[in-house]
Structure 1
Amino acid sequence: MCFKKDVLISFVVVMSCIIQTSRCASAGKNFGNVNFSFRRNIPYYERNATLYSASSTSVIASYGRCAVKCIEDLRCHAIELCEVNDGTECRATNGLVMTPTSTNQQGVCKQYFMDYSCGDEAFLDRRRGLCVFSFCSDCDCVRKYNAISGGYGLNIDGSAVFVLCQFDTNHTWTVIQNRYNGSVDFDRDWKEYTYGFGSVDTEYWIGTENIHRLTKAGLSTVRIELEDFDGDHRFAEYNVFCVANATYYYRLNISGYSGDAGDSMSEAVGDAKADGEMFSTADMGAHVGGKNCALQGRGGWWYEAGTACSKSSLTGEYGSNKRDKGINWDTFRGMSYSLKSSVIKLRRP
Structure 2
Amino acid sequence: VIQRRDSGAVNFNRSWSQYEDGFGFLSTEFWLGNEKLSHLTNQADYQLRVDIELSNGASFYTTYKYFRITDAWGQYQFIHIGEVESNAGTLISACPTNMLYGPCSCQATCEDPNGQSGCNSDCLGSEGCICPAGFVMQGSECINASECECFVAEANLVIPSGETSVNGDCTQRCSCMNNRLICEDYTCSTDAVCDVRNETRQCYCNEGYDGDGETCESLYTDCQAVKDAVHGDGVYTIMPTRWPESPFNVHCKMHGDEGWTVFQRRTDDDTSFHQNWTAYKDGFGNSRNLWLGNEKLYYLTNQNPTKLRVDITTLDGTSLYSEFTEFQIESEDTKYKMNKLGSRTSPSGYAGYYLSYNKGKPFSTYDQDNDACDTFNCAEKHRSGWWHSSAWCSTCYSYSYCYYFQYSSSCKSYCTYENLNGVYNGGNGEMIISYPNYYCNVQFVEMKIR
Tell me, yes or no, whether TM beats 0.5.
yes
Partner residue of 2:449?
Answer: 346
Instruction: Tell me the distance in 1 between the aligned counterparts of 2:280 and 2:433.
Output: 19
The code of the aligned residue for 1:310 comes to T
Instruction: Tell me the distance in 1 between the aligned counterparts of 2:265 and 2:329.
Output: 18
Which one scores higher on RCO, CA 8 angstroms, separation ≥ 6? Answer: 1
- Name the SS of the counterpart of 1:319 in structure 2: coil
Describe the shift of the 1:10–1:237 C-alpha distance in structure 2 as closer, same or farther (beyond 3 A): farther
8 Å Cα contact 2:325/2:342 also seen in 1: yes
8 Å Cα contact 2:362/2:371 also seen in 1: no
Partner residue of 2:236?
Answer: 152
Describe the shift of the 1:39–1:257 C-alpha distance in structure 2 as closer, same or farther (beyond 3 A): farther
- Name the SS of the counterpart of 2:317 in structure 1: coil
The code of the aligned residue for 2:385 comes to G
What does residue range 52-201 of structure 1 map to in structure 2 within 5 Å?
A: 63=196, 66-67=199-200, 97=207, 113=212, 121=217, 135-145=219-229, 147-156=231-240, 157=243, 158-199=245-286, 201=287
Structure 2: gaps spanning 5 or more residues: 1-106, 114-149, 179-185, 394-413
Measured against aligned partners, the alpha-carbon deviations of 1:60-104 in whole angstroms (never above 9, x if no partner) come to: xx859712xxxxxxxxxxx656xxxxxxxxxxx8x67179xxxxx
- Name the SS of the counterpart of 2:326 in structure 1: strand
Describe the shift of the 1:16–1:186 C-alpha distance in structure 2 as closer, same or farther (beyond 3 A): closer
Greater mean deviation of Cα atoms: 144-153 or 277-286: 144-153
The code of the aligned residue for 2:431 comes to G
Partner residue of 1:292?
Answer: 377
Instruction: Tell me the distance in 2 between the aligned counterparts of 1:339 and 1:143.
Output: 29
Instruction: Tell me the distance in 2 between the aligned counterparts of 1:120 and 1:98.
Output: 9
Instruction: Tell me the distance in 2 between the aligned counterparts of 1:137 and 1:339.
Output: 31
Measured against aligned partners, the alpha-carbon deviations of 1:226-253 in whole angstroms (never above 9, x if no partner) come to: 0023210111211011101111111112
Aligned partner of 1:243 among 329, 347, 369: 329
Q: Please identify the structure whose Cα radius of gyration is greater.
A: 2
What is the CA-CA distance between 1:38 and the residue it aligns to?
A: 5.7
The code of the aligned residue for 1:228 comes to T
8 Å Cα contact 2:354/2:435 also seen in 1: no
Describe the shift of the 1:65–1:165 C-alpha distance in structure 2 as closer, same or farther (beyond 3 A): closer
Describe the shift of the 1:166–1:4 C-alpha distance in structure 2 as closer, same or farther (beyond 3 A): farther
What is the CA-CA distance between 1:172 and the residue it aligns to?
A: 0.9
- Name the SS of the counterpart of 2:281 in structure 1: helix
* Number of equivalences: 264
- The answer on 1:311 being equivalent to 2:417 is yes
Measured against aligned partners, the alpha-carbon deviations of 1:13-37 in whole angstroms (never above 9, x if no partner) come to: 765678463xx66xxx65899xxx8
Instruction: Tell me the distance in 2 between the aligned counterparts of 1:31 and 1:333.
Output: 67
8 Å Cα contact 2:219/2:237 also seen in 1: no
Aligned partner of 1:261 among 349, 353, 367: 349
Measured against aligned partners, the alpha-carbon deviations of 1:227-284 in whole angstroms (never above 9, x if no partner) come to: 02321011121101110111111111213012133253344xxxxx111111111111
Instruction: Tell me the distance in 2 between the aligned counterparts of 1:294 and 1:32.
Output: 60
8 Å Cα contact 2:189/2:216 also seen in 1: no
The code of the aligned residue for 1:261 comes to G
| Identity %, equivalent residues | 20
What does residue range 202-221 of structure 1 map to in structure 2 within 5 Å?
A: 202-221=288-307
- The answer on 1:323 being equivalent to 2:428 is yes
Describe the shift of the 1:112–1:168 C-alpha distance in structure 2 as closer, same or farther (beyond 3 A): closer
The code of the aligned residue for 2:272 comes to D
TM-score scaled by length of structure 1:
0.65
Instruction: Tell me the distance in 1 between the aligned counterparts of 2:176 and 2:274.
Output: 45
Q: CA RMSD in A?
A: 3.6
8 Å Cα contact 1:96/1:159 also seen in 2: no
The code of the aligned residue for 1:179 comes to R
Describe the shift of the 1:233–1:19 C-alpha distance in structure 2 as closer, same or farther (beyond 3 A): same
What is the CA-CA distance between 1:150 and the residue it aligns to?
A: 0.8
8 Å Cα contact 2:208/2:247 also seen in 1: no
Instruction: Tell me the distance in 2 between the aligned counterparts of 1:301 and 1:147.
Output: 32
Describe the shift of the 1:4–1:224 C-alpha distance in structure 2 as closer, same or farther (beyond 3 A): farther
Greater share of helix? 1
8 Å Cα contact 1:281/1:299 also seen in 2: yes
Structure 1: gaps spanning 5 or more residues: 45-58, 68-78, 82-92, 100-110, 122-133, 268-272
- Name the SS of the counterpart of 2:342 in structure 1: strand
Partner residue of 1:85?
Answer: none
